């Protein structure tokens, strides 16, 4: 008879579930978990703050389409992870949060890191939260949590783990671990609904597919491409579905916000196949700027609560996106599809006009032959440095364009920052699913380094590049140390305009340029800070330096930070669209 601890029993359950990596920060409450993870070769990426540990678990889950695991200690460890829990909840990211807590025997004794009901706090922002009070129940409840996190409308779960439950012991022969933990049986669509959807699409003159997060999580890339190429229906995608359909494909229209470029009334979509789309922020809410009221919507969503929330739906389909596309492909093969070349040309032209409009922001460089051979003159901005007089700063659009030109399609790109990611949305290549991870419904600025760490751990053979605003990078600056200690060669590009630019622009528009207050940042040198942690680092003040700097950072094989001086004045087109939404 061998006796094992509750921590050992929990880790054995994680091993049975296929967990091989976890993110966390040590605390005494978690000691048995840390020791058991070491025994079973579950790698714990120990972070500098639980804030970033939670986001790293999100990045791992989102880039690998699997369960992420975060371990946080009691009290402040748990409260530090709340932003990540809320972010995962709103974006439906499957993360298991394991939170230590004070021993049950110490209830109401004013002991260390106790006195708050962690489960009650977590319950509104998780799919399920529970405190385990008996060692023998650990395997059942861990398996239950994982099933909830990874099935249906995915999302975070939290298990509260009292210290005395984790250190107590049980005979391993009676501690049964479930043989089946994850569920892989996504719901299929109703046959009548498929027939109605096909009829609508086949009779449409201007149909589109809107691919959302649900389509990404269902791993429907192959089925989506087969459907689109068989029918000729163009595709747009949202923030999580970038790369599900290749952006270099002739039938790709762009991200959702580019639907606004179809401004001519007769060129608006008339039928929309919305795959795993949650209407709201990324579809401009009730606005008709992207999806006109007269368009008939076929809404495929695994969560029935999302259907009809903001848009009238012609055909509701409560089902998995991939299963629905499989059924649509079978039905589509039996009919003759209309000619849509004119509609396809309209969408391609709209993309070209959008690109030309952005390119018009940039003036020719005096020297051709660098980078793309064209780009902006650096823009003057007074007050650079410490009393050194005016300097020349880089247009943010040209900065992100240069970044994307320097990486291959295998690179995973993380976008962080209230405006930085909007500039990235204009230029990002999306030819592999899960290759672009950025803000969702919470708008949690400052999560970039955490996401990048998680993505790099999930894909050790791929390059990971994080583009973050200077405000955003300050949230978790110490995670450069985590990158160095764990030899994670993430390249971080800091878009440094010395401002909380989105807030500054909001103040300028609402209150006037002479009422900007509390939104400007100082002269911090982020490359110097990263170098102090042991990273490859360089400050970039001229656009001609940026491409060589990125290539040098990638070639270094080390974590890297490029501090890029950009101009604060330009506002991303997507932000302007959001500000003007009806």
104-108, 222-226, 418-422, 545-549: which has the minimum mean pLDDT? 104-108
What's the pLDDT tens digit per position in 440-464? 999 999 999 999 999 999 999 999 9
Report how far apart, in Å, the C-alpha atoms of 58 and of each of 42, 94, 337, 451 are: 17, 8, 41, 6
Residue 98 has φ and ψ, to the nearest 5°, of -105, 110
Q: Tell me how far apart the terminal alpha carbons of the chain are, to the nearest angstrom.
A: 69
C-alpha to C-alpha distance for 72 and 376, rounded to whole angstroms: 46
Same domain assignment for residues 329 and 372: no
pLDDT at position 393 is: 86
Same domain assignment for residues 284 and 393: no
3-state secondary structure 86-143: HHHHHHCCCEEEEEEECCHHHCCCCCCCCCCCHHHHHHHHCCEEEECCCHHHHHHHHH
Q: Which one is predicted more confidently, 554 or 513?
A: 554
Confidence of residue 109 (pLDDT cuts 50, 70, 90): confident
Average pLDDT over residues 62-84: 97
Q: Which domain holds residue 495?
A: 362-579
Same domain assignment for residues 312 and 332: yes
Q: Is residue 179 part of a domain?
A: no
Confidence of residue 581 (pLDDT cuts 50, 70, 90): low
Helices and strands (H and E) in the chain: how many: 22, 22
Same domain assignment for residues 554 and 428: yes
Answer whether 189's CB lies under 8 Å from 323's CB: yes
Among the listed residues 278, 283, 284, the one whose alpha carbon sits nearest the alpha carbon of residue 306:
278
Number of domains in the chain: 3
Q: Is residue 185 part of a domain?
A: no
On average, the pLDDT of the chain sits at 92
pLDDT at position 392 is: 63
DSSP tag of 451: H
What's the pLDDT tens digit per position in 313-359? 999 999 999 999 999 999 999 999 999 999 999 999 998 988 888 88
pLDDT at position 363 is: 53
C-alpha to C-alpha distance for 106 and 115, rounded to whole angstroms: 10
Confidence of residue 549 (pLDDT cuts 50, 70, 90): very high
Same domain assignment for residues 142 and 10: yes
Q: Hey, what are 131's tokens?
A: 């405190």
Answer whether 151's CB lies under 8 Å from 168's CB: no
Q: Hey, what are 421's tokens?
A: 């990611």
Q: Is 574 in the active site?
A: no
What's the pLDDT tens digit per position in 155-187? 999 999 999 999 999 999 999 999 889 888 899
Same domain assignment for residues 421 and 477: yes
Same domain assignment for residues 376 and 337: no
353 three-state secondary structure: helix
Among the listed residues 27, 571, 315, 355, the one whose alpha carbon sits nearest the alpha carbon of residue 7:
27
Q: Is 29 in the active site?
A: yes
Q: Which residue has the tokens 């093969």?
A: 333
Tell me which of 322, 352, 382 is where a domain ends.
352
C-alpha to C-alpha distance for 220 and 467, rounded to whole angstroms: 27
pLDDT at position 275 is: 98
C-alpha to C-alpha distance for 204 and 298, rounded to whole angstroms: 12
C-alpha to C-alpha distance for 307 and 279, rounded to whole angstroms: 9
C-alpha to C-alpha distance for 430 and 433, rounded to whole angstroms: 7
DSSP tag of 562: E
pLDDT at position 576 is: 76
DSSP tag of 304: G
C-alpha to C-alpha distance for 464 and 413, rounded to whole angstroms: 6
Same domain assignment for residues 389 and 255: no
Q: Is residue 186 part of a domain?
A: no
Q: pLDDT at residue 487 above 90?
A: yes
Answer whether 300's CB lies under 8 Å from 237's CB: no
pTM for the whole structure = 0.93
Average pLDDT over residues 350-379: 58
Answer whether 465's CB lies under 8 Å from 490's CB: yes
107-121, 192-206, 271-285, 371-385: which has the minimum mean pLDDT? 371-385
Q: Is residue 220 part of a domain?
A: yes
Q: Hey, what are 199's tokens?
A: 């009829």
Same domain assignment for residues 429 and 332: no
DSSP tag of 178: P
Q: Is 50 in the active site?
A: yes
C-alpha to C-alpha distance for 332 and 476, rounded to whole angstroms: 49
Tell me which of 299, 332, 352 is where a domain ends.
352
Same domain assignment for residues 243 and 300: yes
Tell me which of 141, 171, 201 is where a domain ends.
171
The HSE-up count of residue 183 (CA atoms within 13 Å, CB side) is: 15
Average pLDDT over residues 549-577: 93
Answer whether 168's CB lies under 8 Å from 5's CB: yes
The CATH code of the domain that includes 155 is 3.40.50.970
Angle at 354 between CA 350 and CA 359, to 5 degrees: 145
C-alpha to C-alpha distance for 63 and 259, rounded to whole angstroms: 26
The CATH code of the domain that includes 330 is 3.40.50.1220
Q: Is residue 178 part of a domain?
A: no
pLDDT at position 1 is: 67
Same domain assignment for residues 370 and 467: yes
Q: Is residue 180 part of a domain?
A: no
pLDDT at position 362 is: 67
Average pLDDT over residues 354-377: 54
Question: Which one from 115, 342, 373, 443 is the annotated catalytic residue?
Answer: 443
Question: Which one from 6, 7, 27, 29 is the annotated catalytic residue?
Answer: 29
The number of beta carbons lying within 10 Å of the beta carbon of residue 406 is: 20
What's the pLDDT tens digit per position in 229-244? 999 999 999 989 999 9
Answer whether 365's CB lies under 8 Å from 375's CB: yes
Average pLDDT over residues 90-104: 96
Same domain assignment for residues 96 and 139: yes
Residue 157 has φ and ψ, to the nearest 5°, of -130, 155
Residue 96 burial class via C-beta count within 10 angstroms: exposed 0-12, middle 13-18, buried 19 and up: buried
Average pLDDT over residues 364-393: 41
Distance of CA 369 to the CA centre of its chain: 35
Answer whether 324's CB lies under 8 Å from 332's CB: no
Percent above pLDDT 70 for the chain:
93
For residue 381, what are the β-bridge partners? 391
Tell me the helix, strand and coil percentages in the chain, rounded to 5. Answer: 40, 20, 40
Q: Is 113 in the active site?
A: yes
Percent above pLDDT 90 for the chain:
80
Question: Which one from 8, 75, 113, 479 is the annotated catalytic residue?
Answer: 113
Question: Which one from 50, 58, 301, 419 is the annotated catalytic residue?
Answer: 50
What's the pLDDT tens digit per position in 379-438? 444 334 333 334 468 999 999 999 999 999 999 999 999 999 999 989 998 789 999 999
Average pLDDT over residues 4-25: 97
């Amino acid at each position: 008879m061998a006796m094992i601890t509750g921590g050992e029993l929990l880790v054995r359950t994680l091993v049975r579930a296929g967990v091989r990596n976890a993110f966390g920060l040590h605390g005494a409450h978690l000691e048995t978990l840390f020791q058991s993870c070491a025994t079973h070769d579950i790698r714990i990426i120990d972070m500098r703050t639980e804030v970033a540990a939670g986001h790293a678990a999100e990045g791992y889950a989102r880039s690998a389409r699997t369960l992420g695991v975060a371990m946080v200690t009691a009290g402040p460890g748990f409260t530090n992870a709340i932003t990540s829990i809320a972010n995962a909840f709103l974006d439906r990211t499957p993360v298991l949060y394991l939170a230590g807590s004070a021993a049950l025997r110490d209830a109401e004794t004013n002991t260390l890191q106790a006195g708050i009901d962690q489960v009650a706090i977590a319950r509104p922002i998780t799919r399920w939260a529970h405190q385990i009070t008996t060692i023998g129940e650990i395997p059942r409840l861990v398996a239950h949590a994982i099933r909830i996190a990874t099935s249906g409308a995915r999302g975070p779960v939290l298990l509260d783990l009292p210290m005395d439950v984790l250190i107590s012991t049980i005979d391993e022969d009676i501690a049964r671990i479930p043989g089946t933990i994850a569920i892989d049986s996504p719901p299929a669509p109703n046959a009548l609904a498929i027939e109605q959807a096909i009829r609508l699409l086949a009779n449409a003159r201007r149909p589109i597919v809107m691919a959302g997060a649900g389509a990404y999580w269902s791993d429907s890339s192959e089925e989506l491409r087969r459907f689109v190429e068989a029918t000729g229906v163009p595709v747009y995608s949202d923030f999580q579905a970038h790369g599900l359909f290749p952006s270099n494909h002739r039938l790709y229209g762009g991200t959702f916000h580019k639907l606004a470029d179809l401004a001519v009334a007769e060129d608006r979509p008339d039928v929309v196949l919305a795959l795993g789309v949650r209407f709201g922020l990324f579809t401009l809410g009730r606005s008709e700027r992207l999806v006109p009221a007269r368009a008939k919507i076929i809404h495929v969503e695994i969560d029935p609560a999302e259907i009809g929330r903001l848009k009238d739906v012609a055909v509701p389909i409560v089902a998995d996106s991939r299963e629905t596309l499989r059924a649509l492909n079978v039905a589509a093969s039996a009919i003759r599809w209309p000619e849509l070349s004119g509609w396809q040309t309209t969408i391609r032209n709209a993309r070209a006009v959008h690109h030309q409009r952005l390119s018009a922001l940039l003036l020719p460089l005096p020297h051709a032959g660098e980078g793309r051979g064209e780009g902006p003159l650096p823009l003057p901005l007074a007050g650079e440095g410490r009393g050194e007089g005016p300097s020349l700063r880089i247009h943010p659009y040209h900065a992100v364009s240069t970044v994307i030109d320097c990486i291959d399609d295998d690179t995973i790109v993380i976008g962080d920052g209230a405006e930085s990611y909007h500039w990235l949305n204009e230029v990002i290549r999306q030819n592999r699913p899960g290759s672009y991870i950025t803000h969702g419904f919470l708008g949690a600025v400052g999560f970039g380094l955490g996401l990048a760490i998680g993505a790099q751990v999930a894909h050790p053979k791929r390059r990971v590049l994080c583009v973050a605003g200077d405000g955003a990078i300050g949230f978790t600056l110490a995670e450069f140390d985590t990158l160095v200690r764990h030899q994670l060669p993430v390249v971080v590009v800091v878009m440094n305009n010395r401002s909380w630019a989105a807030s500054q622009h909001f103040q300028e528009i609402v209150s006037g340029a002479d009422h900007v207050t509390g939104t400007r940042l100082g002269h911090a040198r982020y490359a110097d800070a990263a170098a102090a942690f042991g990273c490859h680092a360089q400050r970039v003040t001229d656009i001609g330096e940026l491409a060589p700097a990125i290539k040098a950072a990638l070639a270094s094989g080390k974590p890297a930070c490029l501090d890029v001086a950009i101009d604060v004045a330009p506002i991303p087109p997507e932000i302007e669209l959001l500000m003007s939404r009806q």
